[in-house]
């Protein structure tokens, strides 16, 4: 009798796992990992002149929509601005060591491709441009908290699992009652 009970429980467990495997494969397909490229920035700009920006760098050079860029420039002792089509106008903060920095957040809806940014120091008409690239990519669907409804495939497989569990449990209880009732 114990062997039959063990067989029923094992068969139910195998059926549940066997029905869940196709769902796992269908829902979570292959994962593509996109990696950033040149994390060391892109070489200096073509600026110069009196009071204008020089040695403009962008780090990282390749970014995803929604990511941040760090822009550094020399020669902007009174600060300045950084503009681009990929992010809102950002202020260069001046540092004591002669290097000004700005951190810009790329728009979430930025189209993948090559972009330019323009650095202009306060009190100067000189502008230096530098390029960077927005990579294609889709962010994780984190924080949705159940706002995505299950698909019809997921519902069918879930229903099958519940039915298999109910059938296995029912067989187990019916078998147990027969054994208990026969011994009295």
Q: What is the pLDDT of residues 28-73, one digit of tens each?
A: 333 323 222 333 333 333 344 446 788 889 999 999 998 899 999 8
pLDDT in tens, 99-146: 889 999 999 888 999 999 999 988 888 899 999 999 987 656 566 666
Q: Does 127 lie in the same domain as 155?
A: no
Number of domains in the chain: 2
Report yes or no on 141 lying in a domain: no
Tell whether 144 is covered by a domain.
Answer: no
Instruction: Quick: pLDDT tens for 18-35.
Output: 666 555 544 433 332 322
Residues 24 and 66 in one domain: no
- Structure confidence at residue 12 as a pLDDT band (50, 70, 90): confident
Q: What is the mean pLDDT of the chain?
A: 75
Taking residues 69-90, report their average pLDDT.
Answer: 90
Position 47 scores a pLDDT of 40
List C-alpha distances in Å: 23 to 6, 11, 156. Answer: 27, 19, 10
| Closest among 128, 44, 124 to 79, alpha carbons compared | 124
Strands 80-84 and 113-121: antiparallel
83 within domain boundaries: yes
Residues 129 and 157 in one domain: no
Does some domain include residue 45?
A: no
Alpha-carbon Rg for the chain in angstroms:
31
CA distance 19 to 174: 24
Residue 109 domain-assigned (yes or no): yes
Q: Looking at residue 151, what is its pLDDT? A: 81
Indicate the pLDDT class of residue 182, thresholds 50, 70 and 90.
low
Please tell me the distance from the alpha carbon of residue 91 to that of residue 108, in angstroms, as a whole number: 20
Task: Indicate the burial class of 158 (C-beta count within 10 angstroms; 0-12, 13-18, 19 or more).
Answer: middle
Distance, in Å, from the CA atom of 10 to the CA atom of 14, rounded to the nearest integer, reads: 6
Q: C-alpha angle with apex 25: 153 to 29, nearest 5 degrees? A: 105
Range of the domain at 126: 54-134
Do 174 and 128 reside in the same domain of the chain?
no
Domain contains 19? yes
What is the reported pLDDT for 122? 87
Q: What is the pTM of this model?
A: 0.49
Picking from 12-21, 116-125, 162-171, which range would have the lowest pLDDT averaged per residue? Answer: 12-21
116 and 71 in a common domain: yes
């Amino acid at each position: 009798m114990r062997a039959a009970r063990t067989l029923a429980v094992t068969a139910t467990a195998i059926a549940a796992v066997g029905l869940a495997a196709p769902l796992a494969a269908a829902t979570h397909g292959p994962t593509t990992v996109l990696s950033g490229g040149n994390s060391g920035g892109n070489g200096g700009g073509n600026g110069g002149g009196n009071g204008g920006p020089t040695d403009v760098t962008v780090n990282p050079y390749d970014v995803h929509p929604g990511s941040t860029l760090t822009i550094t420039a020399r020669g902007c002792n009174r600060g300045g601005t950084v503009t681009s089509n990929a992010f809102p106008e950002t202020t260069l903060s001046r540092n004591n060591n002669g290097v000004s920095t700005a951190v810009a957040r790329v728009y979430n809806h930025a189209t993948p491709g090559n972009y330019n940014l323009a650095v202009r120091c306060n009190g100067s008409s000189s502008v230096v441009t530098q390029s960077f690239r927005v990579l294609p990519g889709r962010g994780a669907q984190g924080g949705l908290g159940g706002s995505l409804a299950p698909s019809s495939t997921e519902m069918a497989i879930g229903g099958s699992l519940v039915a298999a569990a109910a059938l296995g449990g029912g067989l187990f209880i019916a078998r147990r009652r027969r054994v208990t009732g026969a011994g009295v």
